[in-house]
Chain A
Amino acid sequence: MTEHVVIVGGGTGGTVLANDLADRLEPELDAGDVRVTLVNDDPDHVYKPVWLYVPFGQREPDDGRRPLDDLVDDAIDLRIDRVSDIDTEAQRLQFRGSAPPVSYDYLVLATGSTLEPDQIPGLTEDGHNYYSESGATDLRDELLEFTEGDLVLSVIGTPHMCPAAPLEFVFMADDWLRERGLREDVDITYTYPIQRVHGNPHIAEWARPIMEERDIQVETFFNAESVDPEAETITSMEGTELDYDLLVTIPPHGGIDLIEEAGLGDDGWVDVDKHTLEAEAADNVYALGDTADTGVPNAGSVAHYQAGVVGQRLASEIRGRPATATYDGKTLCFIETGMDAASFVEFDYENPPSPAPPSEKLHWSKLAYNESYWLTARGLL
């Protein structure tokens, strides 16, 4: 009997896992003992870290897109479609339209994050972001016309994709405006929901003095409640009101509704064992990347490492052996500290991050990795 593995989501986690399984289970796939299907609702794979550079004119959104068909091993069945229902009792997926349901033996959910700006009144009308292709290009156009006034970067949603990106944006904006001779005419303010500038205390402790040196104002305990596009103000639940001329936000994030509807977790995040990545509420279901509620950052490196763990566990289970691979919380991030310098952090569940001194070498390492990312997606790096 053929065992069927279905991966839902063709982002970093889903794509790396599909190619990992194509390699790891090659004999079983060749023999027809195993079938792996990757489902994605877009024919393209999108590499989101490119978006940080779009507002500064250094990348185009197309630099972050490639057809999944070019990236995924031919041994994988690629299905461009959208799942409309997950039945974990019957181990069956329904698709939009009238397509027949599909049964699975193992299901991996890698559906990622979506933006939910409508949660904050006024945000859709006047808040810019670099967390989508259209947001990043719109922000590029705004920045090119922005020569003076208040630039406010407000982190609203947590957890959000790439926790380092808000710090990177203000560091890059500071540098970019200095290079253009505009910094003296622009005030930059950074807001964060808790009492420090980043969720991780070690990164916050490292970043705060850099922000002071660079004259980046900080508002902590700032949880945006509403935006008034006419008055150009953003107000927090804590009662602080900030004027802005250009508002950039990290909008609220959520997972897809299907996950909550399937009883797998709240807000679209799957409750998992943070070591095995197995869903707590259903058998034979895994989640990885942003979708897995592990408490680690929503970052591509996390999805990449978790895909390796899930790949090993699935191969063990399919071969009738005990699954022993576990995820230890490993996370790697480069953090841009300007237009030509970056830091780097590596941490896991047990060992906290210790940011490296910013250098040009690390900046080029980040850019070099972004270029070679396509090897990661193919399962080669």
Chain B
Amino acid sequence: MDCTQIRRLLHGYLDQELDLANTTAIDQHLKSCAACKRLFERQSMLRSVVKQQATYYAAPAKLADRIRAEVNRTAANAPARTRRLPWFQFGHWLQLGTAIAATAAVTWIAAFQLNSPSQDELVAEQVISGHARSILTGHLADVASSDQHTVKPWLSSKLDFSPAATDLTTAGFPLVGGRLDYVDNRPVAALVYRHRQHMINLFVWPDPKSDQASPMQTLSKHGYHVLHWTGEGMTYWAISDLNPAEIKTFAETYASAK
């Protein structure tokens, strides 16, 4: 490939969306072409500047309630779906047509998702559901306290392990409380922290394979950012709608404080 071809594909390379053959070709080219390499570096830099600096606007607190109320009103006013429409009514066919069109669109969307997920991804999904459920139901803490000497004993009395429940108020992450949850086929501790208006759930449980400290892994899904790490026989999953940099700060603060 010459420079022109490389540059046409550069953004796909940057976004890791190219196939293996093109990726390898560009890898090779960048090793020998200083001009293209420089261009690539500048574009990577631009990307990280945008990712780090552009504001991720979280939804205002009351928006969910307002939408919920509207949806309930719509549902209540909707014509009873039991009413039997004769087959020849035009409206019926119209609805059917819309439904078929929408199904086609959604099936197409769903097709992207069919790669079989790894074990970590399965756990991540459960962690995300656990977090969403706790927010949705307003059930964040079984024991609501910012006092680690209250939260930790409560959790260890319910579980067969004792997670560190350090209050991190000084770092901007006050402890809200603790909760029992169920992830990866076992009861786990969910520690709840707050950062500004955002809630953070930190799921902790023992894992014999986790004796070795592992580097933090990140995953972003459904607008949530998940951080996963292990150490001293425990596995940790932190999740929030905070931006990736802030959730990382949280995880590092927690890991170094305990």
A binds B: no
Binding site for B on A (CB under 8 A): none
Binding site for A on B (CB under 8 A): none
